[in-house]
Amino acid sequence: MSTAVVHPLKAHPVPNPTWALGLPLAPLTMRETLDAVNRLIARGEPSFLITANLNYAMLTERDPELQAVNRKAAFIVADGMPLVWASRGTDRRLPERVAGSDLLFELARAAAQRGHRVFLIGGRDGVADAAAARLKAHAPGLNVVGIEVPPFHKQTPEQEAAMIARIRNAKPDILIGAFSQPFGEKWLAANVERLGVPACVQLGASLDLAAGLVRRSPRWVARLGLEWGFRMAVEPRRLGRRYLRNLTFLARYLLSHLSTNRNHDRSAPHS
């Protein structure tokens, strides 16, 4: 992995973001997110966006480096109903969840319509190829200009530089990464200028879903915000412990803010 530092930091580009569970979230719908990505592509400057879920909020609280990554991102959308629910206690509610698994297919369809070039990186061997095939079936005319499945933790700096050069030479408009959290967010932030891609996004296990290797929850389960429960039932060994940590973080965060609000109310002067 590159040791490039995350700089320069700049003001968060979304005016008055909605703060929920410690994250500055763009109050965007799926349609507005696609429009924002199109504006990034039209601008042509290297940039990345983040799809944040409850796990990412927990990781950000624990890791100050992620706070710098978040400030460098073009914008962050809420890929998790707990973030949407938490925003209801603010004066700028998030309009909806922007699920990364849905965003992947929406980006593919928009890219096919607009002639944007897409590059896939990460995942296990064969996953990105299978995902590309299904995305092309979903979005006829989609131009996938490259696929990389690098052994990140075994790459030398020279191998990583050669890989980044291949991505840059392919001239993609959109780079879709399938990394683990928070490795993917940190890697994009550290290398976004070298990549030179105007719209990079880390979508984690979304390529597994697109490839058909992981079952998606029914739509009604997702609408109720219970997709995490479905996924834990499908992959209890991999996700059980993580979700327990996430729920513990959420409960502690909410209790802390409830206590703070109560103390503020008690200390406020009464008329």
pLDDT tens per residue, range 223-242:
656 565 556 555 666 666 76
Is residue 246, in this structure, part of any structural domain at all?
A: no
Is residue 130 exposed (0-12), middle (13-18) or buried (19+ Cβ within 10 Å)? middle
**pLDDT on residue 107:** 98
**pLDDT on residue 89:** 80
Cβ–Cβ under 8 Å, residues 131 and 123: yes
Is residue 41, in this structure, part of any structural domain at all?
A: yes
> How many percent of the chain have pLDDT more than 90?
61
Which of 220 and 181 is assigned the larger pLDDT? 181
Total domains in the chain come to: 1
Is residue 7, in this structure, part of any structural domain at all?
A: no
Distances (CA, A) of 249 to 18, 54, 60: 19, 9, 11
**pLDDT on residue 8:** 39
Is residue 214, in this structure, part of any structural domain at all?
A: yes
| pLDDT confidence band for 212 (50 / 70 / 90) | confident
Is residue 5, in this structure, part of any structural domain at all?
A: no
Quick one: average pLDDT of 208-217?
76
Which of 252 and 1 is assigned the larger pLDDT? 252
- Structural domain for 214, as ranges: 18-226
| pLDDT of 184 strictly over 80 | yes
Quick one: average pLDDT of 27-41?
95
| pLDDT confidence band for 209 (50 / 70 / 90) | confident
Is residue 177, in this structure, part of any structural domain at all?
A: yes
**pLDDT on residue 268:** 46
Is residue 240, in this structure, part of any structural domain at all?
A: no
Is residue 145, in this structure, part of any structural domain at all?
A: yes
In whole angstroms, give the CA distance from residue 6 to residue 195: 14
| pLDDT confidence band for 9 (50 / 70 / 90) | very low
